[in-house]
Amino acid sequence: MTAPQNILIVEDEPLIAMMLEDFLEILDKVAVGSADSVSAAMELIQAGGIDAAILDLNLRGGETSLPIADALAAANIPFVFATGGSHDSVAERFRDRPSLAKPFTMDGVAKALDALA
């Protein structure tokens, strides 16, 4: 399998989402969309064209990206969780998935996406 090219970003901080979009562009990836809520992400997933996703675990308003992870897993779309906490904060059913520690670095994003290939 080749490394994913079309990446969904789920991040509730606009500046961080824009930084991730910049990183993806530099890494020759395409940000197919950026969502800051579960409902917005679900619409993008249903629209299709996503090879992988970067999911901020905790979204605003107490939402988590776990329903998004469930939908991606059901569609066999790989993803990484982005978290400022430890990997232990990820739901047990997803602990085998790669994670991306905050603050993000270009190298960290590249390695996380390569881990999905």
> Number of C-alpha atoms within 13 angstroms, CB side, residue 28?
2
What would the mean pLDDT of 13-25 be, rounded to a whole number? 96
Domains of the chain and CATH, by start: 6-115 (3.40.50.2300)
pLDDT in tens, 74-105: 999 999 998 876 656 678 888 888 888 888 89
pLDDT of residue 25: 96
Exposed/middle/buried for 15, CB within 10 Å: 0-12, 13-18, 19+? exposed
pLDDT of residue 90: 79
DSSP state for residue 19 in the 8-state scheme: H
pLDDT in tens, 44-74: 999 999 999 999 999 999 899 999 999 999 9
The confidence band for 1, taking pLDDT boundaries of 50, 70 and 90, is low
Rounded distance, CA 66 to CA 4, Å? 21
Which of residues 10 and 92 earns the better pLDDT score? Answer: 10
Q: Are strands 30-35 and 79-83 parallel, antiparallel or unpaired?
A: unpaired
**104 three-state secondary structure:** coil
pLDDT of 2 above 80: no
